[in-house]
Structure 1
Amino acid sequence: MRGYFGIGAEKIHKPMNIGSLFRTAHAFGADFMFTVDSVYTRRRGRLSDTSDAISHIPFYSFPTLTDMILPEGCVLVGVELTDDAIELPSFKHPQQAAYILGPEKGELSSEILEKCAYTVKIPTKFCINVGLAGAIIMYDRIKTLGKFPRPPISSGGSVEPLHEHKYGSTLIRTQVEKFIDIPPRDRY
């Protein structure tokens, strides 16, 4: 699968929820994890993160929204039950995305929603657990952007075989070296 993604939460305070989200992010191959304006006991969060995700995936703890920095070209996607949100089954995931979920008893702040390029909602009757919502978002991303054969048309039908990728001609890297750019120092 091309691209990358990160996942995080705003104002989360229950350590078991963030630990569960991070363990699931590790399982789905997230490239980074983050929190914004969150207060929880890290030691307790590790109790539900049995994969020790923080040891394997970069983790960023942003004290405020203004401190949050995403990679250049990374699209912020809010996950929230709002009337104008795109329903997840109809959403086309960006190749470079950071998904942000709201707190346990509340919703994403209006400041976060303003920064989001998209807001998506999981079509449920009411809010679900943060860890579960994150798992559904990541599963949908893998399912829609991953290289899987299309599902059968009828129930129990046979699955189409996945055709092997045919590679194009080799890129001569020496021709593009002159275009390599150094990241600005003030961003890091």
Structure 2
Amino acid sequence: MRGYFAIGAEKISKVKNFGNLARTGHGFGASFCFTVASRLQHDDMVSDTSNSLTNMPYYAWDKPQDITLPDRCQLVGIELTDDAIELPSFRHPTQAAYILGPERASLSPEIMDMCDHIIKIPTSFCLNVATAGAIVMYDRIATLGRFAPRPVRVGGPVEPKPIHIQGAQKRRTPI
């Protein structure tokens, strides 16, 4: 897969959720993870069973203005708002840092203003931080990764094959 991505959260209150998010990010190949306005101790992250913070950089920024991303890296907020782009319609930037809000609140207005994009997972209510992050990271690798196309149906062809009917060539439409 081309490019890179990072995963982070603002004002995280549940260290276990961030540990799970970091572990999942590590599993999906995140280049780094980060927090804003929440200092975490590595020893507190018992849910991070892959020791992510020893395998990828972790940045702890005190306030939104402290965030320093690499050149051309786009900040993508994940927030359930009316005007956010729904994840299935979102084209992931090649270089992105995804940020989620706290468990019991939303991304701060300062972070929202800094974001290049705001996306949402099309659910009827907010999800757990680690779950939401995992869904976005999976969508990123599914759309930007180099995977074979999905079959049209289970056990079926990837693309409909032409069939001959009374001398004319037509395309079979799978059910």
Are the counterparts in 2 of residues 19 and 49 from structure 1 also a CA contact under 8 Å? yes
What TM-score comes out, normalization by structure 2 length?
0.87
Corresponding residue number in structure 1 for 2:9:
9
1:25 and 2:10 matched: no
> Can you list the C-alpha shifts for 1:97-148, whole angstroms capped at 9, x where unaligned?
0000000000001110111010000011100110000100000000000001
Change (3 A) 1:82 1:156: farther
Post-superposition offset of 1:38: 1.3
Q: What is the Cα deviation at residue 39 of structure 1? A: 4.4
Normalised by the length of structure 1, the TM-score is 0.81
Deviation at 1:157, TM superposition (A): 2.4
> What is the CA distance between 1:153 and its match in structure 2?
1.9
Number of aligned residue pairs: 159
Does the residue aligned with 1:48 lie in a helix, a strand or coil? coil
**Which deviates the most, 146-155 or 92-101?**
146-155
Q: Hey, what does 1:74 align to over in structure 2?
A: 73
Quick check: 2:42–2:53 contact (8 Å CA) kept in 1? Answer: no
Alignment correspondent of 1:121 = 120
Contact 1:9/1:35 (CA < 8 Å) preserved in 2?
yes
Once the two structures are superposed, residues 10-57 of structure 1 have per-residue CA deviations (whole angstroms, 9 ceiling, x without a partner) of 000111000000000010000010000014454222x10000000000
Alignment RMSD, CA only?
1.3
Stretches of structure 2 lacking an aligned partner (at least 5 in a row): 160-175
Distance 1:41 1:14, change over 3 A: farther
The superposition leaves residues 45-74 of structure 1 with CA deviations (integer Å, 9 ceiling, x where unpaired) of 2x1000000000011000111111000110
CA distance in structure 2 between the aligned counterparts of 1:114 and 1:33, rounded to whole angstroms: 20
Does the 8 A contact of 1:15 with 1:42 survive in 2? no
Counterpart for residue 38 of structure 1: 38
Structure 2 CA distance for aligned equivalents of residues 146 and 43 of structure 1 = 33
Larger Rg: 2
Pick which of 137-146 and 151-160 moved more: 151-160
Q: Which amino acid aligns with 2:113?
A: E
Structure 2 counterpart SS, 1:103 = coil
**Structure 1 match to 2:173:** none
Q: Which residue of 1 aligns with 2:165?
A: none
Asked if structure 2 preserves the Cα contact closer than 8 Å seen for 1:14 and 1:40, the reply is no
